[in-house]
Structure 1
Amino acid sequence: MGTDTEPMHCVGVVLAGGLSSRMGRDKALLAWQGRPLIERQLAVLRAAGVDEVRVSGDRAAYGGIADAIPQAGPLGGLAGVARAQAEDVDLLVVPVDMPLLQAGLLQRLRTERPQARSLGFVSHVLPWRLRLDSRSRAALDELLRQDDPRRRSLRVLQATSGHEEIPLTAAEAAQLADCNTEAQWNEVTG
């Protein structure tokens, strides 16, 4: 367990359970720098110094953890990981579709403000560090029981977790370009 001045055990999580409907093909398997994007994101998390990695999504080839609630979006995927993780840890959560993300930026998110229960970058939902403990597990379960889909989001979980934000330089912000569509993929990787 971490202290106010040192990080907790950290589990890197790649969110890769979506349907990729806007992309029209599986984003996790898009070729990027000679390998599938999912493998690249796992490598970036490892290079950022996480203690272990997990894949959120039913991806047997990567030891993926199925969503706790199918088609509940990233929150359902995060709940699956939370249920598979018995100990209290920090989760360092990244989307599969952020090909420019670098380990140094994730390392900063992993190590800054170790006392923060929820930490991200200004104006960005992901990447994100969440203290996974009894409080965040209860909040996650409560959100998943909501009938209103607008209440079942990572943003709402962040808000209920005392979310803090740290600033980004313009160069760092450029690393956080996500690729939900073919046009965005071509713009970012072209």
Structure 2
Amino acid sequence: MGVVLAGGRSSRMGRDKALLHWQGRPLLEHQCATLLAAGVDDVRISGARAHPLAIPDRHPQRGPLGGLSSVVDALGDVALLIVPVDMPRLTPALLARLRTAEACAACVHFADHVLPMRLRVDAETRAALDALMAADDDRARSLRALRQRVGAHALPLSAAETAQLRDCNTQADWDEVQP
């Protein structure tokens, strides 16, 4: 199952990143299509959106981990391939490499990057998510912390692959990734 994290406020961008146009369509649609082309069977969108694939965020203002927690609650035990909405250069080939990588760890990601990630959701992962969501400290609630709790395997990246993992948080970032 593919998941696009699209629940943020886009405050640094100044407008909804999911609606920015990339290659002739909204970035949200582009990311969903990229996941499907990478071989996932289905896609869901994390965030409060008027979209048939959306899973509403039950933990607003709790960051990507809050959105992921809502997705896990809705979908149960499943393998997830998770991408952020604001990483337009991701290719199906790179995501397919992540999806099919042989690793025993619950979480597989690329070296030095939190996202995208493959996450095996099971009782241990749900328990780790619940514990992190219950933390009083906002800094404790992160995808990086989840990765540490459930165990992770980092895949190496070439320089060309690393360029695909550029996220766009500001207008300047967005301008830099334009073809």
Equivalent residue, structure 1, for 2:143: 154
CA–CA separation in structure 2 for the residues paired with 1:114 and 1:84: 25
Q: 1:96 maps to what in 2?
A: 85
Residue type of the alignment partner of 1:179: C
Measured in 1, the distance between the counterparts of 2:103 and 2:169 equals: 31
In the alignment, which of 33, 44, 64 is matched to residue 54 of structure 1? 44
Equivalent position amino acid for 2:56 in 1: A
- Structure 1, gaps ≥5 residues long: 1-10
What is the letter of the counterpart of residue 57 of structure 1?
G
Q: How does 1:61-140 map to 2 (within 5 A)?
A: 61-86=51-76, 88-140=77-129
RMSD (CA atoms):
0.9
* Moved segments of 4+, more than 3 Å: none
Aligned mates of 2:84, 2:122 — CA distance in 1 = 21
Residues of 2 paired with 1:62 and 1:76: CA distance?
A: 20
Deviation at 1:61, TM superposition (A): 2.1
Q: CA deviation at 1:60?
A: 2.0
CA distance in 2, matches of 1:142, 1:128: 20
State the alpha-carbon separation in 2 of the partners of residues 111 and 100 from structure 1: 20
Which residues of 2 match residues 31-46 of structure 1 at below 5 A?
31-46=21-36
What is the aligned partner in structure 2 of residue 183 from structure 1? 172
* Whole-angstrom distance in 2 between the partners of 1:51 and 1:138: 26
Query: What displacement does 1:115 show?
Result: 2.8
Distance 2:50 2:151 in 1: 34
Q: Deviations over 1:131-169 (max 9, x none)?
A: 111110110011000001110000000000111101000
Q: Distance in 1 between matches of 2:58 and 2:147?
A: 19
Q: How many residues get paired? A: 179
Query: What is the CA–CA distance in structure 1 between the aligned matches of 2:4 and 2:67, rounded to whole Å?
Result: 10
**Percent identity for Structure 1 against Structure 2:** 61
Alignment partners' CA distance in 2, 1:171 and 1:73: 29
Q: 1:173 aligns with which of 162, 170, 174?
A: 162
Ranges in structure 2 where 5+ consecutive residues have no aligned partner? none
Per the normalisation by structure 2, the TM-score is 0.97
Preserved contact between residue 107 and residue 120 of structure 2 (Cα < 8 Å): yes
What SS class does the counterpart of residue 61 from structure 1 fall into? Answer: coil
TM-score of the aligned structures, taking structure 1 as reference length: 0.92
**Map of 1:23 onto structure 2:** 13
Measured after TM superposition, the shift of residue 25 of structure 1 is 0.1
Residues in 1 aligned to 2:58 and 2:93: alpha-carbon distance in whole angstroms: 31
Q: C-alpha displacement at 1:114, in angstroms? A: 4.6
